[in-house]
Amino acid sequence: MTDALAETSLITGSQFCFRGNLLFLEPSGILYWPAERLLVVSDLHLEKGSSFAARQNLFMPPYDTQATLETLAPKIEMLQPETVISLGDSFHDRDASARLPDEYRQQLSRLMQGREWVWINGNHDPEPPRELGGIFCQSLQVGNLNFIHEPHKQFTQGEIAGHLHPCAKIRRRGKTVRKRCFVSDGERLIMPAFGAFTGGLNIRNEAYSELFEDEKLTVWMIGKDAVFEIDGKQCVR
């Protein structure tokens, strides 16, 4: 526990007490749970760029995997988590791992080394690539928190999910600011998408309406080097 507290001086971002657990919501879009030495990252969508070339001969810059891993690696190196959960849609499509250039495959292996790595299945990658190693599962329960890719429609306490790529928009002084965000009503938490080429879906979209109790909604909007905790009532469509 002392180790865990020492780390907290390293980590930026907002603290959030979620069902009795102290979590850090970090400006890169990862979540860190010091008590469990657990790092969570969602919707990496690796090789999204090359999927356009494979399917439509559209040549997106082939650097999104590199950019994504370059953002993730220093967080893992700094925090040295015992467990990393990749919360689904880690790969953009079924063939993404086959397209993964060797260099990035090796970089990924280095990150996985010496820790438990959990691949949660997502809708983009229902069968993640076994050859990379790690644990594969549909969902994972740690303490009173449950990690899953797609949030359940039925109310589930302590669920941490991804899938929706939440972003929030606020209006102040006649200007709007739209940013990726963490969003929670205290019962459920949805993580922002981490991948370099992932877009966002406004938390005011109907897709969220069955998932949250609107009155209690809080968002953590991701700025340049900080996370801003903002009352959901300030968020607009």
Partner 1 sequence: MSEQFLTSNTGGNLPFFLPPPFQDWFAKNGWKPRPHQLELLARNQAGQSTLLVAPTGAGKTLAGFLPSLTELSARAKPGPRQRRKGIHTLYISPLKALAVDIKRNLEKPIAEMGLNIDIETRTGDTSASRRQRQKLVPPQILLTTPEQVALLIASKDAGSFFADLQTVIFDELHSLVTSKRGQLLALGLARIRSFQPGLKTIGLSATVSEPDELRRWLVAQPPEGEITLSEFVEINGGAKPEISIMKSDNRIPWSGHSARYAMEDIYAAIRDHRTTLVFVNTRSQAEIVFRSLWSVNEDSLPIALHHGSLDVAQRRRVEEAMARNELRAVVATSTLDLGIDWGDVDLVIHVGAPKGASRLAQRIGRSNHRMDEPSRALLVPANRFEVMECQAALDANYVGAQDTPPLQKGALDVLAQHILGTACAGPFEEDALYRETTSAAPYAMLDRETFQHALQFVATGGYALKTYEQYAKIRKTEDGSWRLTHPRIAQRYRMNCGTIIEAPMLDVRLTRKNGRKTGFAGGPVLGKIEEGFIESLSPGDTFMFAGKTLRLEGIRETSCFVSDAHNSDPQVPSYLGGKFPMTTYLAESVRAMLADPGKWHNLPPQVSEWLEIQKAKSVLPKSQELLIETFPRGDRFYMVGYPFEGRAAHQTLGMLLTRRLDRAGAHPFGFVATDYAIAVWGMRDFGEMMLTGEMPLSELFDEDMLGDDLDAWLDESFLLKRTFRNCATIAGLIEKRFPGKEKTGRQMTVSSDLIYDVLRSHDPDHILLQATRAEAAYGLLDVRRLGEMLARIKGNIIHRNLEHISPLAVPIMLEVGKEPVAGDAQEALLREAAGSEYEKLER
Site residues for partner 1 per CB under 8 A? 45, 48-50, 52-54, 56-64, 66-67, 99, 101, 124, 165, 170-173, 175-177, 179, 196-201, 221, 223-224, 226, 228-231, 234, 236-237
When the beta carbons of 114 and 174 are compared against partner 1, the nearer one is 174
* Contact yes or no for 211/146 (Cβ under 8 A): no
Minimum CB separation of residue 142 from partner 1 in Å reads 28
When the beta carbons of 154 and 175 are compared against partner 1, the nearer one is 175
Minimum CB separation of residue 234 from partner 1 in Å reads 6
When the beta carbons of 145 and 161 are compared against partner 1, the nearer one is 161
Residue whose C-alpha is closest to residue 29's, from 237, 147, 177, 179: 179
Determine the residue type at 64.
Answer: D
When the beta carbons of 153 and 175 are compared against partner 1, the nearer one is 175
Buried b (16+ CB within 10 A) or exposed e, 109-138: eebbeebebbbbbbebbeebbeebebebee
Minimum CB separation of residue 212 from partner 1 in Å reads 16
Minimum CB separation of residue 91 from partner 1 in Å reads 13
Helices 64-79/102-112 angle, 10° precision = 20
